[in-house]
Chains A and B, each alone.
Chain A
Amino acid sequence: MSTQAYIYDAVRTPRSKGKKGGSLNEVKPIDLLGGLLRSLQERHDFDTGYVDDVIMGCVSPVGEQGTDIAKLAAQNADWAESVAGVQLNRFCASGLESVNTAAQKVASGWENLVVAGGVESMSRVPMGSDGGAWASDPAFVIKTGFVPQGIGADTIATLEGFSREDVDAFAMQSQKRAAFARDNGYFDKSVIPVKDANGLTILERDDFIKPDTTMEALAGLKPSFEMMGSMGFDDVMLKKYNSLSKINHVHTPGNSSGIVDGASAVMIGSEQAGKDLGLTPRGRIVAGAVLATDPTIMLIGPGPAAKKALKTAGLKASDIDLWEINEAFASVALRYMRDLDIDPEITNVNGGAIAMGHPLGATGAILVSTMLDELERRNLKRGMLSLCVGGGMGISTIIERL
């Protein structure tokens, strides 16, 4: 690697229910992300004209999130007109893909400072607003055997033997860990309150977490994908996984990631950028990897992606101090830990998307901030971030605290 890609800062908005009544429903995506960029600038008082590019993930890039929200948000934040912007979409990996792409741009020496992250206002631009052949072109759906992610998650649980109680227990732990971390200020460094044009606070901290969750309450929830499965998706799945007699539908709203609104931004730059702007790096990007696995079960990519990243970096799993696996569904995280043979005690130590929600395009870069904060708090060195991705893809990034 010719140039190191340093992380100068990583910030995010708090997350809130991504539906009518959610605290951030009143905030336009362009303001949610624009406000975050503005705060990032104010935090470091740097010349935005120094930024080469703004790369933002967004999974439903239509309507209010349409055209190129990265460029528009930079304009909305009154950043210099020389700053370019691009929106990208690698489904749920979009936020981390932005980070990896930014790191590559810097490491290649092409660019000096890139702001990467993502935004998703799921309350204003609901999932699926963008259509796409993936799930709605009959010829393609039949050819590729498309199955909704939740059924993939249920299939993983069935294959791995995770019971309803296992996945609920994992969800419970996510809630408790997230509530503890939030209430003890572990997120305060990176969570920037969302304010209105008058400077009044709209949302200060994550308000999606349900700290009072109980196993009984979780057990009472209906499986989300049973009906869909019975309509034929289970059969599609079982055709491929033909050693199974049926799919055990264990996932519910309680043990799946929450639908929320949120945005994230990570400043990634060269050593020179830090010198020029008087910034001290908090960490660096060690390596990243992306790959694809079976698109039908869809959610088993993170383990292989993490291994690929380790290989690229010349590291072993034991070199990683903390792990973050996006909690799209409980079974995804459980399977990831099993794939890599890692200790649950050093994985998702402050909870994850089951408790705090998964603002699709933003999540990957949110993980950078939670990981970096925790590495600093625990005085540890290396962290691995992974997400499962639509189409069977997986993505991982290794970061190192400095």
Chain B
Amino acid sequence: MSVFKYEKDADGIVTITMDMTGPVNSMNEEYEQAMGETVEKLEHEEGLSGVVITSAKKVFFAGGNLHGLLAFQPGRDEQRFMDSLDLIKGQLRRLEKLPVPVVAAINGAALGGGYEICLACNYRVAWNDRSVQVGLPEVTLGLLPGGGGVVRMTNLLGLEAALPYLLEGKKLDPERALKAGLVDKTVDSLDQLVPAAKALIKEVKDQPDAAVQPWDRKGFKIPGTNINSPKMAQVLMVGPTMLVKKTRGLMPAPAEIFSCATEAARLDFDTALRIESRGLTKLVGTPEAKNMITTFFFQLNKINSGASRPKGVEKKKVKKLGVLGAGMMGQGIAYVSAKAGIDVVLKDISVEAAEKGKAYSEGLLDKAIQKGRMDPITKQQILGRILPTASNDDLAGCDLIIEAVFENFELKNKILEATENQLAENGVWGSNTSTLPITQLAEASKKPENFIGIHFFSPVDKMPLIEIICGDKTSDETLALAFDYTQQIKKTPIVVNDSLAFFTSRTFGTYLDEGVRLLSEGVYPVQIDNLGKAIGMPVGPLQVHDEVSEELTRKAAETWEAMGMKDRWGERKATEEVISWMIGEHGHGGRYHGGGFYEYAGKERKIWQPLIDRYYKADHGISEDDIKDRLMFRQVIETLKCLETGVLRTVADGNIGSIMGIGAPPHTGGFLQYINTYGAQRFVDRARELAAKYGERFEPPQIVVDKAAAGELFE
């Protein structure tokens, strides 16, 4: 009995229902066998009038076998991999060449390989439901759609129209897919799906080309501008360059996709399919693909499925949330929470201040309306959930209170004392601190077990990460609620243990510090920032320092000193010297504090000349490679220390946290995964080399030395 159920009805239509072993259908060996047998049988089926392909699972088809892809070894597996792609493509080619119409009845998500099967059908009918999505997201994992996706999309839509789906990996709901031509028909209920597919077969049966794919028709021309026309020459000149501007040349997949799609527009269908296979074979072996598959698929799934959430604690929803402080962070927290359907009490010292915080939400909602992503009624509903107030009494019965006031110990203690008693029974107190230790803050609480750090990133509505920090006494129930709340507001939670500056701020701090060190050693500041971007960081270390402000760095240092924690994570003399000179003598405390490393006039930004006069040395003798590695290794080493000392509880949290919270380059898969493909021993050697040249902060932590010796990965 095949895992592809085969049923022929009285009209001669065969329905294939994919129901593979395990929770999902995917492109593994079982698939190859089942599809092979099915196509063979269909080719010999007498009285066949049409084929419907659907799935018995909730997801139509899940795509490639990512475990298999991770095991790919360059230099060993290329031929075997090409052979397997040939097999898969050959089967799909035979499917689309059947003499009868073949219709995909898409009952669940059809992404990647799933949608590639749909593309090899003559028609695509989809259930118009939230659970259904189509698209080719391979690029987001450093891959390309190698089951005919690049070639069929290019032939179906034309090069220019196909590229955005291939390069961005956009997922479409059935309605959008219908508009874009990615599905041909939608139905409103699941019951109608297969009948609608069969009806379509009957409807088209007299059309001469009904069973012939467009690209197999005589005289077929790819839609859109001809690849050889001068107009296309413009697209081909600018397109790849725009791509590199985005990827900084650090992502091989989009480049390969662009190249394969262009070849598909130039060459015959079957030759293009072979080029596509070569392209995927090339990408599968790259460190980038391994990194992205590991982190964005396996580790992110693990995190989202609650691996860090305490087991056995019942799932809860926050119904009423208190937000203390209606400043930049508080107003953002209020917005994302109200949007998620939570009643929010937004408290500040005056009603005016609180209302100003609420107005922030109104502004964001109005913008969304302008962009057509929001309607006025929903806007009113969301705003109706935010109560701006100056009264502590309004906080009564909150399941969760999050404070987002200034980073000041006494202030935080004071408001804790004043409002903690308003919490519902077993309510949780969350502090959105980014620098102060949770355990110490919790000491002022009557219920330190209900105290937890909930660290948001700015701007709150855009940043996808929440860093949850457990103090020494934080209970499992408290952690579970913080975790549930994070998912309620559709963000990704990482869970870390308490320690000065936690994981993200502490690690990010090393990037800022190393940038300033390079400056004080004489490197030209613009070059420092450009090389920061060249390694894949979103912004250079000096520019981003201006954004978070040198002023904040100075204040944090003061606070740490007051806490007796100065130089807790290593000396910062260079940064102290540079910043005290900038602020002390020139009032340069950051972009919004009189300028920083740069001077700002509106949108214009230029380097601040006194900086060059004081620090730049043409003969600093530091190579570009050293500059890049210093900026990268500092952060990786700090992440290793966090893992070594248990600040980080899992490798997954370190990777996802570094990418979503710090801006670690996505192609590295995060600061820990980076080592896996860089090579642990190579990393240790290079770190020691940097340590010898630039100081002990580059000494590799024992944990990576051990991994290298054992030949193990960070998993």
Binding site for B on A (CB under 8 A): 20-21, 25-26, 28, 63, 124, 196-200
Contacts and interface: CB of A to CB of B under 8 A. Distances in A.
A197 B278 CA distance: 8
Contacts of B499: none
Contact of A198 (B78, B266, B274): B78
A20 B282 contact: no
B278 A200 contact: yes
Top 3 A-B pairs ranked by shortest CB distance?
A: A198-B78, A196-B278, A20-B268
Nearest to A25: B271
Contact of B278 (A21, A63, A124, A198): A198
A200 B266 contact: no
B228 A63 contact: yes
Contacts of B263: 26, 28
Nearest to B269: A20
Contact of B275 (A21, A26, A124): A26
Contacts, number: 33
Interface of B: 75, 78-79, 82, 228, 263, 266-268, 271, 274-275, 278, 281-282, 285
A198 B271 CA distance: 17
Given A20-B271, A21-B268, A199-B75, 20 more contacts: A20-B267, A20-B268, A21-B271, A25-B268, A25-B271, A26-B267, A26-B271, A26-B275, A28-B263, A197-B278, A197-B282, A198-B78, A198-B82, A198-B278, A198-B281, A198-B285, A199-B78, A200-B78, A200-B79, A200-B82
B267 A25 contact: yes
30 contacts: A20-B267, A20-B268, A20-B271, A21-B271, A25-B267, A25-B268, A25-B271, A26-B263, A26-B271, A26-B274, A26-B275, A28-B263, A63-B228, A124-B266, A124-B267, A196-B278, A197-B278, A197-B282, A198-B82, A198-B278, A198-B281, A198-B282, A198-B285, A199-B75, A199-B78, A200-B78, A200-B79, A200-B82, A200-B278, A200-B281
B54 to A, nearest CB: 35
A98 B82 CA distance: 38
Contacts of B275: 26
Contacts of A198: 78, 82, 278, 281-282, 285
B298 to A, nearest CB: 25
Nearest to A199: B78
B15 to A, nearest CB: 36
A21 B79 CA distance: 21
A144 to B, nearest CB: 29
A363 B400 CA distance: 80
Nearest to B262: A28
Contacts of B79: 200
Nearest to A19: B268
A301 B10 CA distance: 74
A197 B252 CA distance: 13
A31 to B, nearest CB: 11
Contacts of A28: 263
Contacts of A124: 266-267
Nearest to A28: B263
A196 B267 CA distance: 17
B280 to A, nearest CB: 10
Contacts of B78: 198-200
Contacts of B278: 196-198, 200
A63 B263 CA distance: 13
A361 to B, nearest CB: 20
A197 B282 CA distance: 7
Contacts of A25: 267-268, 271
A28 B281 CA distance: 18
A63 B275 CA distance: 19
A51 to B, nearest CB: 27
A173 to B, nearest CB: 33
A124 B263 CA distance: 11
A358 B275 CA distance: 25
Contacts of B285: 198
A238 B267 CA distance: 41
Nearest to A196: B278
Contacts of A197: 278, 282
A200 B285 CA distance: 14
Q: Which of A20, A28, A124, A198 has the most CB of B within 10 A?
A: A198
A118 B278 CA distance: 26
A63 B268 CA distance: 17
Nearest to B285: A198
A25 B79 CA distance: 20
A378 B271 CA distance: 41
Nearest to A197: B282
A63 B265 CA distance: 14
A28 B279 CA distance: 14
B367 to A, nearest CB: 45
A125 to B, nearest CB: 10
Contacts of A196: 278
A124 B268 CA distance: 11
B82 to A, nearest CB: 6
Contacts of B268: 20-21, 25
Contacts of A26: 263, 267, 271, 274-275
Nearest to B281: A198
Contacts of B282: 197-198
Nearest to A129: B228
A25 B274 CA distance: 11
A112 B263 CA distance: 38
A58 to B, nearest CB: 17
A255 B228 CA distance: 33
A196 B266 CA distance: 18
A196 B271 CA distance: 14
Q: Which of A21, A196, A199 has the most CB of B within 10 A?
A: A196
Nearest to B77: A198
Contacts of B75: 199
A376 B290 CA distance: 50
A321 to B, nearest CB: 42
A200 B274 CA distance: 12
A21 B282 CA distance: 23
Contacts of A21: 268, 271
A140 to B, nearest CB: 25
A368 B282 CA distance: 35
Contacts of B274: 26
